[in-house]
Copies of this chain bind each other. A is one copy, B any other.
Amino acid sequence: MATGRTHRPATRSRGIPEATVARLPLYLRALTALSERSVPTVSSEELAAAAGVNSAKLRKDFSYLGSYGTRGVGYDVEYLVYQISRELGLTQDWPVVIVGIGNLGAALANYGGFASRGFRVAALIDADPAMAGKPVAGIPVQHTDDLEKIIQDNGVSIGVIATPAGAAQQVCDRLVAAGVTSILNFAPTVLNVPDGVDVRKVDLSIELQILAFHEQRKAGEESAADSPLPGAAAAARKASAADQGPDGDVPAVMPA
């Protein structure tokens, strides 16, 4: 799920597989928790359980970073926290701009986890002139007109798009033109970006639809052969209208 438009070159970045990179933050979180409890070392087994992954996978993941473990003992928590942080680039400060300060943008601005890991909200940007100057999460909202200047003045390379779908591509283009090379997209649109720019997307609607698919499948199996699940409840699942149109016809469905 890296690039939105361009095919991901599966950039085996510096030898570290993409799948591993995606898990490093997970490990880091688990390690940070251990660190706060002053736990000195962890075995791959324990840490894997905490991170919700397979221990062999975890060991292989760490092996890409180097050999930081001690056989018979495990991994030094503090050392590993540092190594992963460094690998992820969290030992430096990343100024971030959020574009689109609606409900979501505001929630993101208030999001505590931002500052905690080296990310700093450098600016909030919105197209609505009425928002200009209004502080959100203690930061005054600035107008889209100044987007380029804001990016450049703050040396921002990571942008967060929380605008409506219709405005996303345009905002994206401006961000990229101004020098942003990494984008986190919350708008439900496919963003078109040039090579060298990374896009990650977060889409509630898509996640729900995927869940619905599996949910439907479960419900189907359930009625076919009675629930193979340990199910805590087999109540009146699946609420109201179970339409399920005829087959070769065009019913009405709809978009967001």
Contacts and interface: CB of A to CB of B under 8 A. Distances in A.
Interface of A: 2, 4-5, 7, 11, 13-14, 21-22, 24-26, 28-30, 32-33, 35-36, 50-52, 54, 78-79, 81-82, 85-96, 100, 102-104, 106-108, 110-120, 152, 154-158, 162-165, 176-179, 181-184, 186-188, 190, 192, 194-196, 198, 200-219, 228-245, 247-256
A25 B189 CA distance: 11
Contact of A251 (B82, B186, B196): B82
B26 A254 contact: no
A135 to B, nearest CB: 15
A196 B162 CA distance: 33
A104 B5 CA distance: 28
Contact of A210 (B22, B183, B237, B243): B22
Given A155-B235, A235-B155, A239-B95, A209 B90 contact: yes
A245 B81 CA distance: 12
A248 B91 contact: no
Contacts of A33: 249, 255
A213 B256 contact: no
B177 A232 contact: yes
A178 B213 CA distance: 21
A69 B66 CA distance: 50
B154 A239 contact: yes
Q: Which of A29, A108, A196, A198 is most buried by chain B, counting CB atoms within 10 A of its CB? A: A29
Nearest to A187: B256
Contact of A242 (B91, B96, B217): B91
Given A239-B94, A244-B92, A218 B196 contact: yes
Nearest to A6: B52
7 contacts: A32-B248, A90-B209, A94-B215, A107-B254, A117-B245, A178-B233, A196-B230
Contact of A231 (B78, B86, B158, B196): B196
B214 A51 contact: no
Contacts of A215: 89, 94, 157-158, 181-182, 198
